[in-house]
Amino acid sequence: MPSRRAHKNSHHGCQRCKSKRVKCDQQQPRCQRCERHNADCIYRHLLTNWDPFQRPSNVPIQPRLLFDEQQQQQQQQGFPQLPPATDTPGTGTPTLPSQAYMASPTYVASSTTLNLDFPGWSQPERFYVHHFVNHLAVNNLAPILDSEIRPLLTQTIIDNIDVYPFVRHALVSFSALHLASERVGSSSQHLVTALHHKDTAIAGFRPFLSDQLQPQQCEAAVAASVVLVACTFAIPIADHAKTTGVDHLDLLSQVAGLFQGLIALLRLGRGSTPILEAMKTSNVRRSVAVTHRVEVAWPEAGSSIQRAITAIEALDESDAPALSRKTILHSGASLLHRLMQRVAVDEGSYVAVCMWLGRVDPSYGDMLRARDPLALVIMGHYAASRQGITAWWAKGWPQETLNAIAGVLQGQQQYLDLLDWCVTSVNLSPT
């Protein structure tokens, strides 16, 4: 029998090709696949003491969290080793740990879908990623509502989690926020971790976006954007003791910026991968009937925001700043009104209403930070339209938003009157 054709040993392929489970030509400094996608090409065996032929369990894990030594020791002590998978004899069915262990703050089920023994990952990072894979990649827990897009998002995250650090940091933040939201008396450790990793994700995300992205690279950025949006929504829910001092309306301006970045990435990607194709507006509209039908009195919502539009149309246009303000407010309110009207007659997508923040003028976020009263009135209508969402990270968000808006507008009755429907629809006391 003739000998096999000579080939390169695939054990030493680059990190990106390994995560995609594709053949790597092992060219250096960058393989042809990474060169084609303009992606970072990292060969682990050239950077660390990682041995590709060694069992993953024997690879030393180096903690990387940016805490001082004492905090790091405390954090490591709080995260036990992940429980091993065991099978019930004769069935092949995994046996769950004890109920007492499952009830503990540090419990996660064992994973068979993702190898978490990545060199350089800390134990807390593996813990939180493990928690996402086994507990949060399901309806009402995942960082996206659409049941058709959710599996694609999860797969995209898994494919890129060890390729782009900002994807991992975003996911760690999301999982830590979930655990903080569930543990009223012991949430501080999870909350500190969540905020640290959220900041780290954004810090790593911005330089990545400054490069000229290829469409294929957009999927990692889209996945991180979706997770970071959910993280930003979740911060008030996870902060039981209100220790962060985070302003709810400032968070909303962050959400607006993240949504706008997400829309820009979807346009850049042009539907070139499954997740980008699924998230295109046309496909989102077709899938809404099988995802979420939030019970909102849409005709009344439309009438209420029309009152706000009428107030905007009466604004002064005497100088350039006044005209710019009026234009931005009118454009945003009119778009939200059209989206609500389409949902009211079953011709539009509720998901499109949720994505409204990504389609407003970027200056709208600045107006929120400046507490422009009519910008807050529009935001109140957007918040009220999101009532009924059962995702944990959006729990109580409409009420919190309207409470914050009412506090800012206290004493300005002409604007509070424009929020009557919003306040009533989320069962708040009249303003």
- Residue 394 has what pLDDT? 87
Count of CB atoms within 10 A of residue 104's CB?
10
Mean confidence (pLDDT) of the chain: 75
- Residue 294 has what pLDDT? 54
3-state secondary structure of 94: strand
- Residue 211 has what pLDDT? 61
Q: Which of 262-276, 303-317, 342-356 shows the lowest per-residue confidence on average (mean pLDDT)?
A: 342-356
Amino acid at 141: L
Which residue has 């960058």 as its token pair?
30
Contact predicate 21/158, CB 8 Å: no
- Residue 358 has what pLDDT? 85
Q: Please determine, for residue 53, whether its predicted confidence score (pLDDT) is greater than 60.
A: no
- Residue 282 has what pLDDT? 42
Q: Which of 120, 140, 147 is nearest to 290 (CA)?
A: 147
% of the chain beyond a pLDDT of 90: 30
Q: Report the pLDDT averaged over residues 294-308.
A: 85
pLDDT in tens, 132-168: 988 888 777 888 877 778 888 888 898 889 889 999 9
- Residue 186 has what pLDDT? 64
- Residue 84's pLDDT band (cuts 50, 70, 90): very low
- Residue 215's pLDDT band (cuts 50, 70, 90): low
User: Residue 179: CB partners within 8 Å, gap ≥ 6?
Assistant: 105, 128, 131, 187, 190
- The better pLDDT of the pair 173, 100 is held by 173
User: Residue 164: CB partners within 8 Å, gap ≥ 6?
Assistant: 204, 208, 220, 224
- Residue 3's pLDDT band (cuts 50, 70, 90): very low
3-state secondary structure of 87: strand
Reported pTM: 0.69
CA 1 vs CA 4, 6, 7, 325: distances in Å: 9, 15, 18, 79
* Cα 182 to Cα 105: distance, rounded to the nearest angstrom: 9
- The better pLDDT of the pair 326, 104 is held by 326
What percent of the residues of the chain are helix, what percent strand, and what percent coil, each to the nearest 5?
Answer: 60, 0, 40
pLDDT in tens, 337-364: 998 888 777 665 667 787 888 889 999 9
Cα 237 from chain centre? 15
Q: Report the pLDDT averaged over residues 256-280.
A: 81
Q: Which two tokens stand for residue 44?
A: 């682990």
